[in-house]
Amino acid sequence: LQSSQTEVLQQLRKQLEYPRHLDAWNYAGDLCSAPPSPFLTVACEANTITELKIVGDKPAKVSNFDGHPVAGQTLSAFFSVDSFVTTLSRLNSLKVVILVSLGIWGPLPDKIHRLYSLQVLDLSSNFLYGSIPPRISAMGMLHTLTLDANFFNDTVPDWFDSLSNLTVLSLKNNRLQGPLPRSIGGVTALTTLALSKNNISGRVPDLGSLSSLEVLDLRDNQLDSEIPPMPRGMVTILLSRNSLAGKIPHQLGELSRLQHLDLSYNLLQGTPPASLFSLPNLSYLSLASNMLSGSLSSKLACGGQLGFIDISVNRLTGTLPPCLSDISNERVIKFSGNCLSDDSSRQHESSFCREDRIVGKGGKNRYIGLLICAIGGAFVVMLVLLLMLLYFYRRHRHGRAKAETRLLQNPALENYSTGFSSELLANARYVSQPVKLGSQVMPTYRVFSLEELREATDNFSRLSFIGEGSHGKVYKGRLENGSQVAVKCLALFKKYSIRNLNLRLDLLSKLRHPHLVCLLGHCVDGSSDDSSVHRVFLVYEYIPHGNLHSHLSEISMEKFLTWPERLAILIGIAKATHFLHTGILPGFFNNKLKTHNVLLDEHYIAKISDYGLSIITEEIDKHEDDVYSFGLIILETLTGPAQAARGEAFLLNEMRTSFSRQEGRKQIIDPTVLGTAADESLSLVISITDKCLSSESSLRPSIEDVLWNLQYAAQVQATADRDQRSDATSQA
């Protein structure tokens, strides 16, 4: 196996948080030649991985999953499905990917389509949510797509018909909603269509042109149409627990290959076609809990394979035909809850099954229906009138508030130079799920009173003062519950009404990530009558170990940061930046990234401070770009602040000269880094830094690419360190 592919496998193992059965990858030897097991398979062709199957032991499904990681069930808050798929897509010859019960959580990224050779994709029993990525439609080789037992909660996509090779589509046990698109009838190669246990509503579309379809499973949805004609080759039809109405089509009685038919728990009416019971291959037939009526013909014949028949809880009358009443043979027959004369103890009175008692039948019911329509119509008219009255009343009353909202949403009236337009504020409502990331372990956001903050900071005393940045002074404080906080007093240069400010704070409060200094709440100092505000206090968690800049400097006596530690810090910053760029729509791209704004907690975990503040201060340097700024942070991490203090131009020049030569590196790179870094790891980081610092912004990588490269460099470093340790032990 190519060493780069082994590295990717190790990276995946790390991202999956070292599941036990991947310990097998620890041992030397070619992973391609390991015998496949039901839980783990790595198959290769020409030294390249073509098949990857990992079946974990995480629970199949929990009911309380709401997009946050769940301890012991999903992977942790540090897992990023985006990075995981980026890593996976490096194995670009993969034809089969089966990753089941591994606790993978998050929205499945569109970039999964980079696996363009994929034929089988099975991600069942994980915690994926959101929509099924549209770019899967470009994976032309795909013949099996199985995403069962996840939490996909959008509609069933309407592009499956562009997958001309798709034979198995299984999306069971998700939260898919809305109607089944008609285009599903155009996925011509389908043999299996399984969408049971979702919230799909509306019609069962015409599937007549799916000439290869054998299995249709739409159980446990909210489908409410009639049953359409089915393709001739059907073997299994499962439509139970919907609201299907109308008669059972006679056409079903012509499906000579049919073995399994379940239409139970619907609203089907009429007398079941006799031809159904005599189908030559049918072994299981359930029509239970419908509104079927009439009597079954005494001439009705049962097919030779028919072993289970359930017609219970319907409105059937008369006597059972001989083939259903003969208890001597081995058939299981259930027929209680009807009005049959065979087994009076478990049957209703005949009046219960009279045709005129069945909804929608008979003149009396039609009359009642008309009456209901008339009353309903009058009610709707009154309701509309009432709503119109209410609307005009509210419009009048809230005229001022609405004018302000319009102001926020009207680009023409905004200060466009800020980049934070109405679009951003309007979209604040559509914060994507990853925003919730980590909020489980973080305290909930709240509003503080000025008195509370005065008390916490000893009335903003000189002793509590930590420092002053461009946004204002920062004080250290202790809340009543004992927790330490940093209170930032924002000097506002722009006047906001309280309402406008609250919209902005609301957006800021949604930015939560393990590598962002947690914003605990705010306090607005202003009059309560919604007039303008001049002072805002932001209350953050207190991060005790100072900032990265001072830790990198030679005078920092506390601890010299080794290369692996520096890499871990850089990865933390990249993860948070990635979140700021993609976790909220539209993303935050100017976050004043610099080593002064990277704080370190007691475990040397990096946390970005000062992020997103331009939403309130509205000052944005158009030339500032997070990826470029991040490039400068990496440079400072490589060289130490003393070199960095010589200025950006000096560093950029060094980047193009000294960094490309071994000798030059020795002069410019911090000795602690040189002493603890493997050459290959260092080269990877230098190469991505160079790209981050491209003068042309379009040539810079995305933060996601940067993150991947850093993680890869960390993996390379870890492998080198491990090798070095084992060499040392073998020599000893």
Ligand X SMILES: Nc1ncnc2c1ncn2[C@@H]1O[C@H](COP(=O)(O)OP(=O)(O)OP(=O)(O)O)[C@@H](O)[C@H]1O
Residue ranges in contact with ligand X by CB under 6 A: 466-467, 469-471, 474, 486, 488, 517, 540, 542-543, 547, 592, 596-597, 599, 609-610
**Among residues 176 and 573, whose Cβ is nearest to ligand X?**
573
Q: Cβ 541 to ligand X, closest distance in Å?
A: 6
- CB 486 to ligand X: min, Å: 3
**Pair 159, 135: CB distance under 8 Å:** no
What are the residues whose beta carbons fall under 8 Å from the beta carbon of 694, sequence distance 6 or more? 700
Cβ closer to ligand X: 247 or 596? 596
Minimum CB distance to ligand X smaller for 203 or for 596: 596
Answer whether 414's CB lies under 8 Å from 422's CB.
yes
8 Å CB contact between 607 and 593: no
DSSP state of 227: P
Kindly tell me which of 68 and 488 has the beta carbon lying closer to ligand X: 488
Q: Which is nearer to ligand X, 609 or 681 (CB)?
A: 609
d(CA 111, CA 102): 20
Q: How far is the CB of 464 from ligand X (least distance, A)?
A: 11
- Provide, rounded to whole angstroms, the least separation between the CB of residue 613 and ligand X: 9
Q: Which is nearer to ligand X, 478 or 596 (CB)?
A: 596
- Identity of the residue, 138 or 490, whose beta carbon is nearer to ligand X in the bound complex: 490
Q: Using an 8 Å Cβ cutoff, are 513 and 579 in contact?
A: yes
Minimum CB distance to ligand X smaller for 542 or for 708: 542
Q: Which two tokens stand for residue 607?
A: 């946390």
- What's the rounded Cα separation, in Å, for the pair 95 and 117? 5
Closest CA to 8 of 59, 44, 55: 44
74/597 with CB nearer ligand X: 597
Whole-number Å distance between alpha carbons of 669 and 691: 18
> Which tokens go with 347?
């049957």
Tokens of residue 455, six digits:
């008390």
Task: Give least dist CB 549 to ligand X, A.
Answer: 9
- Of the candidates 689, 685, 678, 626, the one whose C-alpha atom is nearest the C-alpha of residue 656 is 689
Query: Please, which residues have CB within 8 angstroms of residue 503's CB and are 6 or more apart in sequence?
Result: 408, 425, 428
From the CB of 703, what's the least distance to ligand X, in Å? 20
- Shortest distance in whole angstroms from residue 607 CB to ligand X: 8
Which residue number, 259 or 637, has a Cβ lying nearer to ligand X? 637
**DSSP secondary structure string, 120-170?**
EEE--SSEEEEPPPGGGGG-TT--EEE--SSEE-SBPPS-GGG-TT--EEE
Nearer to ligand X, 170 or 591 (CB): 591
The residue (of 124 and 617) whose beta carbon lies closer to ligand X is 617
Residue 474: CB minimum distance to ligand X, A: 4
Sheet with 151-152: strands ordered across: 105-107, 127-130, 151-152
Work out how close the CB of 608 gets to ligand X at its nearest, in angstroms, rounded to a whole number: 10
Using CA atoms, how far apart are residues 301 and 442, in angstroms rounded to an integer?
Answer: 67
3-state class of 394 per DSSP?
A: helix
Shortest reach from residue 470's CB to ligand X, in Å: 4
Nearer Cβ to ligand X (520/627) = 520
* Closest alpha carbon to 510 in 593, 571, 444, 575: 444
β-strand pairing of 484-497 with 532-541: antiparallel
Shortest Cβ 489–ligand X spacing (Å): 9
Contact criterion met (CB below 8 Å) for 470 and 462 = no
* Shortest Å distance, C-beta 595 to ligand X: 10
For residue 696, give every residue at least 6 positions away whose Cβ sits within 8 Å of its Cβ, in sequence order, or none.
none
- The residue number with the shortest CB distance to ligand X is 469
What minimum distance in Å lies between the beta carbon of 98 and ligand X? 44
What are the residues whose beta carbons fall under 8 Å from the beta carbon of 203, sequence distance 6 or more? Answer: 179, 180, 223, 224, 225, 228
Element at 474 (helix H, strand E): strand 472-478
CB 263 within 8 A of CB 273: no
Closest C-alpha to 88, from 199, 8, 190: 8
